[in-house]
Amino acid sequence: MNLTIFGAPGSGKGTYASRLQTKLGLSVVAMGDIFREIMKENTPLSRKVKRFVEKGLLVPDDVVVEVLKEHLAKIPKEKGLILDGFPRTVDQAKMLEAITHIDAIILLTVPDWIIIERLSTRRICKNCGEVYNVRYLKPKVENICDKCGGNLYQRPDDTAQVIKDRINVYERQTQPLLQFYRKKKMPIVEFKCEKLEMPPEVAVEEILKGLKRLSLI
């Protein structure tokens, strides 16, 4: 089973994807994490990516797809995946069709006020990238990651105005994508969050119920 997960920054994509990974035995393919890792390497592909990133330019779609292809080649064919952060444009969605089949979309719908509150209280592990929240998803030891013992930090762009701008960018990008997939009759499992302190397990169970209704699990 191959899924892609859509949601504004702070909607819970990474948190839910990691839990679905455990429950369904899927590989999470987070493009942001992949790019951070590839930037540490010294390969022809990583040098190509760095040329754009270091100039502050968007990495072109063909290069993004090349990075994705290289990563997917490392995943056993019998293992499904959850794409997080791809596709971001209709052109990328069309390119994705040539690489792999997507069985369903998970769509996270979260009000802006909840996203702003979540992100402004979010903390991330510097070492492994695990996500916490100082209000409702606290680590056992303050500012220390439960998983690896790394230090937690707050992203500099997790401020109210920047978050609003990021939500607007997401909405502009995603509406054409959803129209593209709806025209293709792609199954969509939508989870609407209406409470700030919604335990991740509740959201994940609702998503699993949606996948069961589609007979995917």
Position 52: which residue type? F
**Class for the domain spanning 2-213:** alpha beta
Q: Which of 48, 50, 69, 166 is catalytic?
A: 166
pLDDT, tens digit, 9 for 90 and up, residues 24-60: 999 999 988 888 888 889 999 999 888 888 887 778 9
* Residue 123 designated active-site: no
The residue with greater pLDDT, 211 or 197, is 211
- Local confidence band at 202 (pLDDT 50, 70, 90 cut-offs): very high
- The structural domains of the chain, with segments of one domain joined by +, span 2-213
The residue with greater pLDDT, 95 or 161, is 95
* Residue 155 designated active-site: yes
Of 134, 128, 124, the C-alpha closest to 154 is 124
Q: Which of 19, 88, 118, 123 is catalytic?
A: 88
> Does the pLDDT of residue 168 top 80, yes or no?
yes
Position of tokens 């996270």? 108
* Residue 88 designated active-site: yes
Q: Which of 155, 192, 212, 213 is catalytic?
A: 155
> Does the pLDDT of residue 187 top 80, yes or no?
yes
DSSP string, 111-136: -HHHHHHHHHTEEEETTT--EEETTT
Q: Which of 13, 19, 118, 123 is catalytic?
A: 13
Q: Say if residue 150 is exposed, middle or buried (CB neighbours under 10 Å; 0-12, 13-18, 19+).
A: middle
Average pLDDT for the chain: 91
pLDDT, tens digit, 9 for 90 and up, residues 103-153: 999 999 999 999 998 888 989 999 998 889 888 889 999 999 999 999 999
Rounded Cα distance, 209 and 70, in Å: 32
> Does the pLDDT of residue 73 top 80, yes or no?
yes
pLDDT for 16 equals 94
pLDDT for 156 equals 86
pLDDT for 83 equals 96
Tokens of 64: 């993004």
DSSP string, 163-188: HHHHHHHHHHHHHHHHHHHHHTT--E
pTM exceeds cut of 0.85: no
Tokens of 48: 């190509």
**Quick check: 43 and 146 in contact, CB under 8 A?**
no
- Local confidence band at 155 (pLDDT 50, 70, 90 cut-offs): confident
- 129 φ/ψ sector (left φ>0, alpha ψ -120 to 50, else beta): left
